[in-house]
Structure formats: structure tokens, C-alpha cells
Structure 1
Amino acid sequence: MKKFLIAAAAACLCTSSAMAQDADEPWKESPFHCKPGETYVMNVMVSGVEYWYPVYEMFKQAAHQFGCETKYTGTPDYDVNKQIASFQQVLAQKPAGILLHPMNPDPFIEPINEAIKQGTAVVTFAADSPNSNRTSYITSDNLREGSVAADEIAKATGGKGEYAVLENPGQDNHDRRVSSFIARMKEKYPDMKLVGRAATNQDPSKAYQAVLSLAQAHPDLSAVFMPEASSAIGAAQAAQELGGKIKIVNVDVNAKVLDMIKAGQITAAIDPNQGAQGYYGFILLWLAAHPQLIDPMNDYKSAGFNPMGIPLLDNGYAVVTKDNADDFYWDKYLKRRGTKGIDG
């Protein structure tokens, strides 16, 4: 499936270049081009989180290469009902497709299905609503990320000691990272003992207090893992105040996390390949919105499903340490690209 997608993407880009030579009526030359006004939307929870920015940057680039328009939408609050409301507001504008990060899987089943009935394609990314009718799902391998985080902590501690987990229960991709992290520890590093778990819900202040409390209850605490970046900031601050012996490993990065990695306050971060997630996410979404271009030898016509569906596409990840942290700063990335970010 991945080879098919990459081949399709290459074909799309080639035809887009060819169409640029005939600016009068480009859609007569190839179907791989948007009609005037054709719009694709990215919808997220907690819209101010830096993680989304490079995803949207490459979503936007792919869309512009197809001659499409884009919008970035969501809610600034950690509230599934507010995200659903923002999704429905976008849907009322009848976009061609929505690339969606659903905060929770089940509450989005009905909104996604209604969107598809209306004729708006939906592809999920980074978190899924697997029981909905969304056409495709693109993400890094959350289970692999948790396992790699366990390996990084074991490397930093010599595979011995006590560890704790800060988590965000209910968010599907975070739950997967935590469960695989703990499973890897139990399987591969029997000399490491889980001594505590705390729900910090992406709140740095809660993470700070949680690490202080965990360390007080367990003086030999040597490492803490969390499945996102915001909690890592508070956790690392507490670890430093406790003498800097507690190793911090998390998933995702932002400028503050990168600064703390370079300063040695965070050991490592596992970062999904956000740009690829956005670029391939758009291509999946565009194809989902144009299923008439795909005619596979299967039962899609009689069964009534979108022939394009790709159940899962892995966009990859990177392990961020002191050695490569400079490559992950958002401002440096924008400067290199010569763009202005979300609004540019």
C-alpha cells in the first residue's frame, strides 16, 4: 500500500508540473488537479499546540501543488465537544475533505459518518476513530514509539532502576504509546520496576507536581516517561530541582523541549515525522475525495465503499537527542522554507 501511495504521489506531482505548462485549462490535461475553489481542511484539538504546525505546513504545500485551497481549524481548548463543534462548523462550508485529528475515537463516529454522507471525504491522522467510516488513517507507529522510548530509558539508566509514567488517559494514540512502553519494559528490561502512574493530561504544572510526589514516595526513582511534549516540560523542571538524576523521555517536540534536550534536562524525545504526516495526509485525503479515479478489481461498487481506502499508513518517526535537536526547530524550518507558517 505504501509503495502504491508514493507512486501515486509521484504521478500526481509529475502531472501537476505538466499542467503548469498549459495554464488555460489545466484540468483538461489531467484529473490530478483541483477545480477553482476546491478546499481541504485540517481540523485539530488544542489548535495552538506546536506539533500541528509542520503537519499543516506540508499539508498546505501538497494542496498548493494540486492547485487546491486549504484551511487550518480546531479549538484552543482540550474539550472534545468544542472540537466536534469546530468540525461541524467547517462541515457546513462543504469542503472537499477534512484531515482530522479526533481527540477521542467514539464521539467522532457520528460526525465523521455524517460528513461522508454529505460528500466530504475524511481521513484521520495521529489519532483515529476506527469505528467510523473514515477512509484512511495516517500516523507514526504509536506502539513502536512506546517501545523505542523504553529502549532510550533503559540505555540511559543501564537497564536498572525504578520508573514512572505520566499519561493522558482516553486519547487513543497516547494510550497506545503508554501501553507499549510498559509492555516493552516488562519484556525486555526486567530489572526496571514500574512504581507509579499519574494522569497529567498534557498539563506541565500537573506533571511538575506529579514528579515531585513520585520522587518523594520513591527516592530511587530513576526515569519518567510521558506520551507527549507538554508534560515533559514540567517533569524535566521537577527532575532538575531534584538534582538532575531522573531521566526524562517523551514523545513529540516543541521549542522548549528541544532547548531542554540540548541542555541535558530531557534525555530524548520520540518525534513523529510531522511533515510527511501532513504531505501524505493530503494525498490520501485528495484521493479519498476523488474515488472515481480508482477502479480496483474488487467488490467496491456492489458493496458501496470508497475504493481508495488505506487502513493505515506509517509516516515514520525520529529519535531526537542532543546530536540532532537543531534539525527540529519550527522557526529554523520556516526560515529554510521561506514561509510564514500557519497563516503564510
Structure 2
Amino acid sequence: MKITRIAAVLGAMIAATALAGCTMPAAETPKTDAAGGFQCEEGETYVMNVMVSAHPYWVPVYQGFKQAAEAMGCETAFSGTPEYDISKQIASFEQDLVENPAGVLLHPMQSDPFIEPINAAIDGGIEVVTFAADSPESNRTSYVTSDNRAEAAFAAEEIIKVVGEEGEYAVLENPGQSNHDLRVTAFIDYMAANYPGMQLVGRQATNQDSNKAYQATGSILQANPELDAMWIPEAGSAEGAAAAVVEAGSDVLILHADVTPTALDLIKDGTIHMSLNPNQGIQGYMGFMTLFMAAHPELIDPFNDYKASGFNPAQVPFIDNGFSVITKENADSFDLEAYMEGRSTE
């Protein structure tokens, strides 16, 4: 009965609006910039800032970012640092702010060190949205990523499907980066809760370094010759792990997140079983859209208390860009060189 009454009230409101010519009374019309719409002013620029800027992961993300920006007449710039160094990434982010962009789409190497820089940027009128990795205690407006828990659960179920419910597994990790941490901890927790017969026998930090991963995997294999599977939160370490497995002549099922051209070749030849790859183009596209909305809150008048509270009404705490499963059968669809044919890299 309650639902029926609510529906009746809503129906009456809709009918009243229709009789009034589908318009709100002038005094109640939201003060949005409808004339300008989803278009940038001349020279309005948005920056994408990352760590290890030469990593191939960023390429499709930036392409999606640019595609959305170009559709709205906006300028973009790619920034970051070539090193895996938190202080240098923060310095590059702060240098971006000197140019006074409308907003920055940021992949923070670590969460906590970026809290104050992000908050300072927003206090200075420059919006910040995070992607792929987060700084949840900051005032960033939105976070765009794949569901790392879902990735971990999918990986665990795939391992069980192939090797069974009893055996040994190992993980490599990259402590300090939020998405990688979650991929590993969620995987271990999922295995412990659902498949207690699977034993964690190795866990080592390799920090996206293929050489460290090669050495770590060799040590794990030497201590655990019956190892059945490995889960790795990124592709660089998976490359090193695969080399160690091949050298040892072991039959270890390797699954990892993300993808690189080298890892893709290893999937094609069967050395790596599978990759769970975030939909990078969607990540960049939705990253730009949420960043633009954060910089243009006048375009939205939501049904909440933003006017009284003073917060940015374009808050979208989390967007799941989804992930794709890469196997030998569909690997050609993830060829980065083919994807970039005819595209501008600027």
C-alpha cells in the first residue's frame, strides 16, 4: 500500500508538470549553465598525472581521457614522473598545479602522502579525481577503477577450476599502492574463507620489478617444488615470475592483473594462463567526465544539501570501469600497437 501511495503522488506530480508545459516555475529552475553546456572555454586544460610515466598501462587510459576531452572542446596534458618515487610524483603533481589546470586526473603511487597535496589543490580551485589507485582520506571528488575484490575473487575461482580445491599457491605484491594491496589481500582472504585446502606458501614484495619477481619466484619454487599457482597484482612482476617458472621447468598456473606487451606475448604462448585487465579506455573516459563535472558543478543541481553544506555537488565516490579477461584466445584484441595505429600520442 505504501508503494502504491508513493506511486500515486509521483504520478500526480508528473501530471502536474505536464499540464504546466513540462517546465518548473521560474523561481525553482536550477541555476545551471545550460547555455554553455558540456563545453570547455578556450584553453581550458585537464591534466592526467601518473607514476612511472613510460608504463604502457597509461596509454589506453590517456586515449580515453583525450577522447572525452576532445568531444567537449577541452585541452589535455599528460604528466608524471618516470621513476617509481613518491616524492618525485608529488613534485610533478605540484608542478602541474602551477599551470592552473581546471583539474587533474591522478594515479597516486601511495595513498597517505597525497592527502595534503590533493586537498591543497582543491582548496586552490583545481579539482582532483583519482583513478586505478586512490587516496581515500583526501578530498578528491571521485575515484574511477575496476573492482579489485571482484578481480581477486575471479582469479581465485579460476585457479580452483584448473588445479582443484587442495594445493599450494603464492602471491607477489607491491605494498603501498592501494589497488595492488587490495588485489592481494582480497585474494588471500577469499581463498581462506572459501577454499581452506589451498595453502599460501609464499608471499614476497617485488614492487613491479621483473628482476625482483624473477628472484623471488625462484626462491619460492625452490622451497615449494609442488607449487600449483601464483596470483600477481600487476604485469611487470608477472613477466619475471614467468621467466623463473620456465627456467625451473615447473608447471605453475600464473594469473595476474593488468597487461604489458611482453605479458601479452606470454599469454599467447601459454606461459601465463590469464590476465584480468581493467578497461583502461573506459577508465580514462569516465575519469575525464567526472573531473569535468567536478570542475563545473554549476551544471548539476542534485536533490541533496550541497548548498547548505557547501560541498561540491558533483561527488561520485566510486565508478567501476570493469575488467576484461585476457586469454590466449582473445589476446590479439589487446595488442597495444594495433590499438594505437592512427592515434595521436600527444
- Matching residue of 1:340: 344
Say if 1:203 and 1:231, in contact at 8 Å, map to a contact too.
yes
Say if 1:200 and 1:231, in contact at 8 Å, map to a contact too.
yes
Between the aligned partners of 2:301 and 2:116, the Cα distance in structure 1 is 28
Between the aligned partners of 1:224 and 1:148, the Cα distance in structure 2 is 14
- Matching residue of 2:307: 301
Between the aligned partners of 2:100 and 2:250, the Cα distance in structure 1 is 52
1:306-325 superposed matches below 5 A: 306-325=312-331
Q: How many angstroms does 1:300 deviate by?
A: 0.8
Between the aligned partners of 2:163 and 2:216, the Cα distance in structure 1 is 21
Q: How many angstroms does 1:29 deviate by?
A: 4.9
Q: How many angstroms does 1:174 deviate by?
A: 0.5
Equivalent residue letter for 1:340: S
Equivalent residue letter for 1:217: A
- Matching residue of 2:84: 78
Between the aligned partners of 1:288 and 1:230, the Cα distance in structure 2 is 33
**Unpaired segments of 5 or more residues in structure 1?**
1-26
- Matching residue of 2:119: 113
Between the aligned partners of 1:261 and 1:272, the Cα distance in structure 2 is 16
Between the aligned partners of 1:72 and 1:190, the Cα distance in structure 2 is 45
SS at match of 1:128: coil
- Matching residue of 1:254: 260
Q: Computing the radius of gyration over CA atoms, which structure comes out larger, 1 or 2?
A: 2
Equivalent residue letter for 1:127: A
How many residues are treated as equivalent by the alignment?
314
Between the aligned partners of 2:309 and 2:344, the Cα distance in structure 1 is 45
* Aligned alpha-carbon RMSD (Å): 1.2
Structure 1 stretch 147-156 or stretch 209-218: which is displaced more?
147-156
Seq. identity, % = 59
Between the aligned partners of 1:194 and 1:297, the Cα distance in structure 2 is 48
- Matching residue of 1:159: 165
- Asked whether 1:66 is paired with 2:72, we answer yes
Say if 1:254 and 1:329, in contact at 8 Å, map to a contact too.
no
Between the aligned partners of 2:146 and 2:247, the Cα distance in structure 1 is 33
- Matching residue of 2:152: 146
Between the aligned partners of 2:166 and 2:261, the Cα distance in structure 1 is 30
Runs of 4+ displaced beyond 4 Å: none
Q: How many angstroms does 1:28 deviate by?
A: 8.8
Say if 1:244 and 1:265, in contact at 8 Å, map to a contact too.
no
Say if 2:152 and 2:184, in contact at 8 Å, map to a contact too.
yes
Equivalent residue letter for 2:320: D
- Asked whether 1:103 is paired with 2:103, we answer no
Between the aligned partners of 2:37 and 2:49, the Cα distance in structure 1 is 26
Equivalent residue letter for 1:92: V
Between the aligned partners of 1:69 and 1:339, the Cα distance in structure 2 is 16
Between the aligned partners of 2:247 and 2:73, the Cα distance in structure 1 is 52
SS at match of 2:128: strand
Say if 1:162 and 1:223, in contact at 8 Å, map to a contact too.
yes
- Asked whether 1:169 is paired with 2:191, we answer no
Between the aligned partners of 2:34 and 2:139, the Cα distance in structure 1 is 32
Equivalent residue letter for 2:272: I
SS at match of 1:312: strand
Structure 1 stretch 217-226 or stretch 66-75: which is displaced more?
217-226
SS at match of 1:311: strand
Between the aligned partners of 1:214 and 1:64, the Cα distance in structure 2 is 48
For 1:41, which of 38, 43, 47 is the aligned residue? Answer: 47
Deviations 1:147-181 (A, max 9, x none): 11112222232333111110011111101000111
Between the aligned partners of 1:83 and 1:210, the Cα distance in structure 2 is 27
- Matching residue of 2:219: 213
Q: How many angstroms does 1:101 deviate by?
A: 0.5
1:216-227 superposed matches below 5 A: 216-227=222-233
Say if 1:152 and 1:268, in contact at 8 Å, map to a contact too.
no
Q: How many angstroms does 1:299 deviate by?
A: 1.3
